Amino acid sequence: MRIRKWLGNALTVLMVAAFITVAGSVVMSKTSGNGPNFYGYQLKTVLSGSMEPSIPTGSIVAIKPGGDMTRFAAGDVITFRADEQKLITHRIVEVISNEQTGQLLYRTKGDNNDAADLEPVDPANVTGVYTGFTVPYIGYALNFAGTKLGNVTLLIIPGVLLFLYALASLWKAISGLEDKKPDPNAAQPDTKAP
């Protein structure tokens, strides 16, 4: 009985901690105006196989934004804006420096691609550097979460589970109170003062 109570308390603490963590992440994402982020790291979904096997398709990766975007060297994996709607995460294969203009460009390539990308990347288009943190296949779920159906599903299912958990806890508490009520029909022991 004690173990069950301890497990119930531990589950409650874990649910509250998960709620606070997710809520904090969502609030920080919305206030910064960026996509999903987790305490300073942007979470990006990899939807192509250009970086396999190091980054599998459907993974989420953590990208560290900010800082001097001219600091990268060959071998670093960066995320850059190809156009207004498209972000790409590829490895730098060459740093091109124009001595006359002082302009720096990155030649990038997907690990699984046969050739380097056609256009070199301007450091102004780099949004962050890949941290090495990858969670395979979760990107599919995050991509689904970004849809209207995903938003509804992710709001309704946890809400129903919390409601059911609250009902079960309430039922257990009420049952415990009923078990402790004295039976009015039971014989009362005779007590006499000495």
Is 23 a domain residue?
A: yes
Question: Can 48 be counted among the known catalytic residues?
Answer: yes
Is 193 a domain residue?
A: no
* 59 and 115 fall within a common domain: yes
- Number of structural domains, the chain? 3
Residue 58: name the closest of 67, 66, 50, 48 by CA: 48
* 133 and 44 fall within a common domain: yes
- Cα–Cα distance, 158 to 70 (Å, whole number): 43
Is 42 a domain residue?
A: yes
Range of the domain at 13: 1-33
The reply to whether omega before 123 is within 30° of 0 (cis) is no
Is 82 a domain residue?
A: yes
* 129 and 45 fall within a common domain: yes
Which listed residue (25, 48, 54, 169) is catalytic?
48
Q: If you ran DSSP here, which 8-state letter would residue 3 be given?
A: H
- Cα–Cα distance, 123 to 130 (Å, whole number): 15
User: What average pLDDT is seen over the chain?
Assistant: 80
CATH number at residue 68: 2.10.109.10
Q: Given a cut of 90, is residue 44 above it in pLDDT?
A: no
H-state helical runs in the chain: 2-32, 138-145, 148-180
* 129 and 72 fall within a common domain: yes
Is 188 a domain residue?
A: no
What is the mean predicted confidence (pLDDT) over 11-40? 64
* 121 and 28 fall within a common domain: no
pLDDT band of residue 155 (cuts 50, 70, 90) is confident
Full DSSP string of 45-81: E--SSTTTTTS-TT-EEEEEE-S-TT---TT-EEEEE
pLDDT, tens digit, 9 for 90 and up, residues 176-188: 776 666 666 655 5
